[in-house]
Each structure stands twice: as C-alpha cells, then as structure tokens.
Structure 1
Amino acid sequence: MKPGVVVVLAFLVLVLRVSLSSASDDHRQKWWKWPSSSQAGKSICSSVVLPLYGNVYPQGYYYAQINVGYPPRPYFVDPDTGSDLTWLQCDAPCVHCTQAPHPYYRPNNDLVPCKDPLCASLHSGDHRCDDPDQCDYEVEYADGGSSLGVLVNDVSLLNLTNGVQIAPRLAIGCGYDQIPGPSYQPLDGVLGLGKGKTSIVSQLHSQGLIKNIVGHCFSSRGGGFLFFGDDVYDSSRVISTPMSRDYRKHYSPGYGEVIYGGKATGLKNLLVIFDSGSSYTYLSSQAYEGLLYLVRKELSGKPIREAVDDETLPFCWKGRRPFKSIKDVRKYFKPLALSFSSGWRSKTQFEIPLEGYLLISSRGSVCLGVLNGTEVGLQNFNIIGDISMQDKMVIYDNDKQTIGWLPANCDRLPSYDTISI
C-alpha cells in the first residue's frame, strides 16, 4: 500500500478484558413525559436525526455532533456501525489522549456498576470485576487503535422528529487511555451504532423512545445525516436483504458476489459487512486482485494509464489532461454491484455506481476506492465502506433483521420542527 493513503477503519474486532430558556408564545417548548415501566419497549412514532459533516476525500471521514452532560457540551464523534460502544476522550484524568476538537469530556460520578447487564454485554464469557462499583472496558479496532476506560451514565440531549426534545440517560465510555491507530482522526470519540446492548440505538429502544432502527445517508458532495427510528423514509421504496443468521455480531447480509458491468465475475462467497466506520470499501485479497484484473482489462487500449506518481490511493490512473470529475471517466469504467441471496432463489443487488468506488484526486487522477482488506488485517471479511454507500439511505432494521437501501438526496435533512432550549 502506498504511503499517504487516508484510511478510516473503525470496524470492531475484539473486546479485550473486564476488569433552558423559555420558548416564545408562538413556538411553545414541548416537554417529553418519561415513559412508565408499562410503556417500556413501546416505541413512540418518531426518530432522531443528526447532521453529518466531512467527506470521503479529501477529509477522509464523516462525523456527527452529540451533546452530552448538564449543561450539554458538544462532541464530534465517528458514527460507527461496526462497533457498539460510544465513548468520549475523557479527563478522568487522561493517561493518554489524542488531539481533539473540544475539551475532553469531564465525567460525573454516575458509574455503571459491574453487575449491570450493559457491562456484561461488553465482555465475552464470565467477567470478573476488579471493582464491583464500576465497569471497566477496553476495545481494540482493526487498525490497532484502542480505547480503555470506564462506563458512566450521563444525559444526552436529542431532538425527535415530532418536535419533542428528550434528554435520556445513556451509558457511554469515559476513555482515559487511547492508542491511536494509523487511521486516527482528530475527533472526540466514537458513536457506536452496532447491534449490541450498549449501542446508542439499542439503549434508546430499550427506553421506549424509538424503534430499533438506525440508518445513514452520506452525500458524495460532503455531509449528510444519521437517523435512529423509522419515520424518515418511505418503507415501500426500500430494497432490503435479510441480515445473516450465521454471522450476528455485525450488520452483515451474509455472503455476496461481485458483479462488474452487470455481469457475474465468479468472485463470490464473500462474507460482507456494512461498516460506516470505514471510509473505503475493502475486499479480501483474492476478490481484490480479481476486481483489479477486471478494471485493468477494461482500461486496456484506452487513453488512460496508471499514475504511479499519485499516492492518494494504491491505484490511480491519469488521462491526457487532468480529470475534473467522475463524468470525465464514465467511458472508461463500468459500475459495480454486490449480489446477495434474499431467500429461496431470490437475489438482491447492492448497486455501486462509479462514484461509489472511484474518486478524483487533487492531482486530477482517478483512483480506485476499493482496497485490499487482507493487507490491513481484515482476513476474509469484505467491508462496504462510506464511499460505496454515498447518495443512498442505508437502513439497519434490527426489528425485522434486514439491511435496506434506497437512492436519496443526502444533502437534504428530513424536515421537522427544531426545538431549541
């Protein structure tokens, strides 16, 4: 892999150890009445929408803002469907913390005890507690980065799409010892959106606030939005495929096949995972080499050659003059797709247009935004990253156990009344 490659890869592979001002008369503030125990689990008909910032290139990552504590303070976090735990760099005091856009999170004294089910969900098997009054955690990511800390309860301020503002108490990680990996980005922490009990979505669902659904919409022009709940999309337009019953840890449709230019490639039996914590798409070594062969074959005899002097990504190509946009290279490349089994003799295709696997570098080259996952330690996993999910609403429905998608204008946030306090 060439130096200078910008990679964000937050796919979680291992959990290591245990151890208010008043509103105006014409816009009255709506207050949320907390659900009684009899209402718990009955989701109200509303969603949470968070704007996204950043891009795949040149910034290299998308991020959201969450507001935590009382009074609420802003933090920029990496929205990661590949991991469960939400954590913030924390002054507890901090042993090792990296550069961040905001002052480190100052925790309160509301520790999650070791016996709490949320603590148990972070650890495999029987976990022991050095201190029964607190839940220690340590998570490690695929790029070698890690966070060590303690679980705390704190208030998060959220706006629902029905105009109600809520401040649920959620368990988050106070990360006081971080080791940055090669894909480190200067953010305040990670927003865990996975399937586990500690994920923000699972916690909001368990409190009866939303349906157990999370989704995102990354714009190829930068920005987009993230949502929890189901009232921001038309379910009749969603193309969906079942989540794998054999691989339940992450959002996986199971095994897929690469389609290139509308034709089967024979690159199949690929265990696929949708991971918003990864900027680029990764294929295991054999599939990656196979795709590279097909792309090079397609480019043979055309006025485009490899740009060995462009180190933006491992493989870039240049033409007779610098390319300005993907429109300039449409005649050279073909669209991609991944085909999944959706039932008896039924197939579903996740289509990836040229914008979903190519980018134009600052030097005017066109670069392949699909990387070799085996080289970065992903073994046989194949990751659909942000680049391939752009300009689509991707929906992870944990109630129906499906992954769905539909074309969308990700520049436009779902409309709802914004309430300010």
Structure 2
Amino acid sequence: MGGGKIVGILIFVVVVVSAAGGGGENHHHQQQKWWKWMSSTSAAMVNPVVSSSIVLPLYGNVYPLGYYYVQLNIGQPSRPFFLDPDTGSDLTWLQCDAPCVRCTTAPHPFYKPNNDLVPCKDPLCASLHPAGYKCESPEQCDYQVDYADGGSSLGVLLNDVFHFNMTSGARMIPRLSLGCGYDQLPGQSYHPLDGVLGLGRGKTSIVSQLHSKGAVQNVVGHCLSGRGGGFLFFGDEVYDSSRIVWTPMAHDRMKHYSAGSGELIFGGKGTGLKNLFVVFDSGSSFSYLNAHTYEGFISLLKKELNGKPLRETKDDYTLPLCWKGRRPFKTINDAKKYFKQFALSFGNGWKSKAHFEIPPESYLIISSKGSVCLGVLNGTEAGLQNVNLIGDISMQDKMVIYDNEKQAIGWMSANCDRPPKSSNMIM
C-alpha cells in the first residue's frame, strides 16, 4: 500500500478467535451473514496454455500520488476493482460488504460476497495461520493481516471468479481464493483503493494459485514507469531471460522476496556498508535503509553535495530531506546532475556480483514546491528494524522479476510505458 507505505512488508498473521474479547464476538456474529446473491454455477476454466502469460496495465505513480494500482475484474457478473500490487504480502483481499464493520473510502462499491466459503481445514486457510491453529468455525476461514504501517484487514476467505486475458489471446476465468475484508484499519500510508493484490511467495498469493491450476509459470514481475503507470505480469513469456541480471532468492527468509545480503555501493565505490538484508517490496512507495546504513548514506550524499548550488531546506515537508536549488526545479533532469548513482551489490549473483543500480532519478523526487527530495528513508525509524527495502521509487524503469520456479530475482532496464502484447514482443 503506497504513500510512505512501509507496508506490505513484515506482514504477520494473527489468529482470529471469536472469544478474543472486545470486538471478537462482534466479528464472529458478522461472519455468519452471507449474501446469497450469486448462483452456484462454477466457472469453466479454459484449457490452460502454459506458454502463455497474463499482462495487466498499472496506473499511478510514486509522486505525487504515492502508489501504483492494477484493475482486476472479479465475480459474476464481473466487476472492476482497483488493487495495490504488493510483493510484500500474500493474501489478496477486497473491502467487502458482509456487511462492512469498518471500511475506508474506495473507488468502487464494496465487493458483495458470495457464499462459496473456504473451509477452515483447506490448506490455503492453514497457510494463513500458525501451526496448531484451532478452527473456531470449521465451515469458514477467518483471517487477519497486519501491515508494517499499522494498517490491517480482518475478514473471511472465499472463492470467486477472476477474469484474465492471456497473451496467447485466450480468456481464462479461474476460481481463486480471496479475502472478504469487512473490518479494515487504515495505516499511516492509507490509499483509497478497493483492496490489496498479494503477490508474495505464499500459497494464497494469486500467482501461486494460478500456478497450482496449471495456468502460468510461478513467476510474477512488474515494470513501473518513472512517468507513471507501467505493467504487471504473471508467467515467464514477457522477457528474454538471457538479458536479465539474476540473483538467487534468500532461502532463510521464506516470507519475502529477498536477494539476501547486499553491500551499498556509492558512485561506483564500495562503502563498507555490508551484510544488508534487502527485500524487494512493490507495496512500498519509497526505499528504506536501516538506521546505521541510512546515516552512512546521508553523510556520503552530503559530502558529495558540498560546494554544489543546493542547500538543505527545512520548509518543505514532502519528505524528511529536501534541497532547494538557485531556482525551483521543474523536473528531475534539472537536479540529477548534482547526485551520484548508488547500487546494492549482491555477492551471490549467478555469473558474478549482481548490481541493482539506482540512478538519481530512482531515488529522488521533485516536490510540488520545486525542491529535490530524497526518496530513501530511515527504515529503523519506520518500524522495519534491520530490513533494507527496495520500494517502487527505486524499481522505476526496470523490469523486476520474481521467479519462484528458479528461486531467483532478476532485473533489467526497460521501457515500462508500453505493455508487451504477446510473447514475441520482448522488451
């Protein structure tokens, strides 16, 4: 979820028990009220074309909007919903009129649930709960997800039809599980969307579910344009693997897409800031470094700016650190010449060290006041402890691929303005 969205990352699951005091009883009673508006006809699944992918346009930007979103068509009849594509969490959920206990403003009418509930003993439900979780109501799967910015969603898992167009030209309408979220608390970086699209590594993730139905390879990727918009894809037909810089996923952090231990490189030189646990999180607008690394980065940046016609400004609150030029900056092109590229280097890249390069336009924004502001923030202050997070700002104008088949993360510079139409239109 965007904004200062630290979110999506460090999602953890809380057991929802009806006896959980306070609101628990209330939630439990709400859970029983299912709408019976939909017939039980199950959607036929088109014979999957495994050499096909799904490509979805993205909308939004890092600044001033603060988030990207994707439109998914769900239900019968199909209705559009805007979701936050989040590689930092697994569960896809919609704000849901079950009825809604607490919901936030959304672009579309709240999702109307059907009565195709996922039972508590289903493996998808089990994956949302700690081992040994006792089912309060065997016929349904209660969930609660909490995000790092303090936001949360509480609800019930159900199945419904998703409508996808494949790059092969086929249409696919699989039944997938999603959360009917009837009690949402907005976090600090709240955005007016219909829900979250979970793209993480877990079983409930949409790409995992599509893969388990034989529809696509278990690969998800995105291409965020610095000019706004971009595209999201499931499957591996959209890129030429030989042109991608690959690095293995860290195995000790099963929940998140992490390239493991990285080193901060500044202006092409090592900084001595090493052993950084780095996570890729499309659910976060900005990037975050742990306190020690952040302080080191800031001092390198300030040293570099010494003697340049920029001065730190205290009257622009867009981000914690902003600079004014001799006159207001109109575009990032006016300011980027004063700043150096930095990179995160992963020593276990398959061919050699894998460098994730972050040029000035992928860590700076021009604020509405014409200052240039730093889109890398102190993650320890934001509640991320020691995690270093690559957010949307630093993934702009790159195709970033999370290949769960090969257990690898890859990237390449790309033009993200035009979604590929078919497998032969490689970037």
Same fold (TM over 0.5): yes
Q: CA deviation at 1:11?
A: 2.2
Indicate yes or no: 2:375 matched with 1:385: no
Q: CA deviation at 1:18?
A: 4.4
State whether residues 240 and 348 of structure 1, in contact with CA within 8 Å, keep that contact through their aligned partners in structure 2: yes
Question: What is the match of residue 40 of structure 1?
Answer: none
Instruction: Tell me which amino acid in the other structure corresponds to 1:123.
Output: H
Alignment of 1:223-242 (within 5 A): 223-242=229-248
1:84 to 64, 86, 90: 90
Question: What is the match of residue 272 of structure 1?
Answer: 278
Q: CA deviation at 1:32?
A: 5.9
Indicate yes or no: 2:22 matched with 1:16: no
Indicate yes or no: 2:361 matched with 1:363: no
Question: What is the match of residue 33 of structure 2?
Answer: none
Alignment of 1:21-420 (within 5 A): 33-34=46-47, 44-342=50-348, 346-416=352-422
C-alpha distance after superposition, 1:166-212 (max 9, x if no partner): 11000000000001111010000000000000000000000000000
State whether residues 18 and 128 of structure 1, in contact with CA within 8 Å, keep that contact through their aligned partners in structure 2: no
State whether residues 283 and 383 of structure 1, in contact with CA within 8 Å, keep that contact through their aligned partners in structure 2: yes
Q: CA deviation at 1:33?
A: 3.5
Q: CA deviation at 1:332?
A: 1.2
State whether residues 18 and 123 of structure 1, in contact with CA within 8 Å, keep that contact through their aligned partners in structure 2: no
C-alpha distance after superposition, 1:322-366 (max 9, x if no partner): 111222123311001000022589311000011110111111111
C-alpha distance after superposition, 1:278-316 (max 9, x if no partner): 000000000011101011111111111001111110000
Change (3 A) 1:200 1:321: same
Which TM-score applies when normalising by structure 2? Answer: 0.90
- Aligned equivalents of 1:331 and 1:102: distance in 2? 42
Q: CA deviation at 1:10?
A: 2.3
Corresponding residue SS for 1:342: coil
C-alpha distance after superposition, 1:70-128 (max 9, x if no partner): 01000000000000000000000000000000000001000000000000001121111
- Runs of 5+ unmatched residues, structure 1: 20-30, 36-42
- Aligned equivalents of 1:251 and 1:330: distance in 2? 29
Instruction: Tell me which amino acid in the other structure corresponds to 2:195.
Output: G
Change (3 A) 1:288 1:140: same
State whether residues 299 and 332 of structure 1, in contact with CA within 8 Å, keep that contact through their aligned partners in structure 2: yes
Change (3 A) 1:344 1:390: closer
State whether residues 18 and 129 of structure 1, in contact with CA within 8 Å, keep that contact through their aligned partners in structure 2: no
Q: Percent identity?
A: 69
- Runs of 5+ unmatched residues, structure 2: 18-43
- Aligned equivalents of 1:16 and 1:159: distance in 2? 35
Instruction: Tell me which amino acid in the other structure corresponds to 1:335.
Output: Q
State whether residues 281 and 391 of structure 2, in contact with CA within 8 Å, keep that contact through their aligned partners in structure 1: yes
C-alpha distance after superposition, 1:362-393 (max 9, x if no partner): 11111000000111110000100000000000
State whether residues 246 and 350 of structure 2, in contact with CA within 8 Å, keep that contact through their aligned partners in structure 1: no
- Aligned equivalents of 1:397 and 1:345: distance in 2? 17
Instruction: Tell me which amino acid in the other structure corresponds to 2:78.
Output: P
- Aligned equivalents of 2:46 and 2:147: distance in 1? 38
- Aligned equivalents of 1:73 and 1:276: distance in 2? 24
Superposition RMSD on alpha carbons, in Å? 1.5
- Aligned equivalents of 2:105 and 2:69: distance in 1? 15
- Aligned equivalents of 2:79 and 2:351: distance in 1? 51
- Aligned equivalents of 2:328 and 2:239: distance in 1? 39
- Aligned equivalents of 1:416 and 1:400: distance in 2? 22
C-alpha distance after superposition, 1:12-53 (max 9, x if no partner): 42111144xxxxxxxxxxx96446xxxxxxx71000111000
Instruction: Tell me which amino acid in the other structure corresponds to 1:44.
Output: V
State whether residues 213 and 229 of structure 1, in contact with CA within 8 Å, keep that contact through their aligned partners in structure 2: yes
Q: CA deviation at 1:6?
A: 4.0
State whether residues 46 and 171 of structure 2, in contact with CA within 8 Å, keep that contact through their aligned partners in structure 1: no
Instruction: Tell me which amino acid in the other structure corresponds to 2:105.
Output: Q
Change (3 A) 1:355 1:343: closer
Instruction: Tell me which amino acid in the other structure corresponds to 2:267.
Output: G
How many residues are aligned here? 395
State whether residues 238 and 405 of structure 1, in contact with CA within 8 Å, keep that contact through their aligned partners in structure 2: yes
Instruction: Tell me which amino acid in the other structure corresponds to 1:264.
Output: G
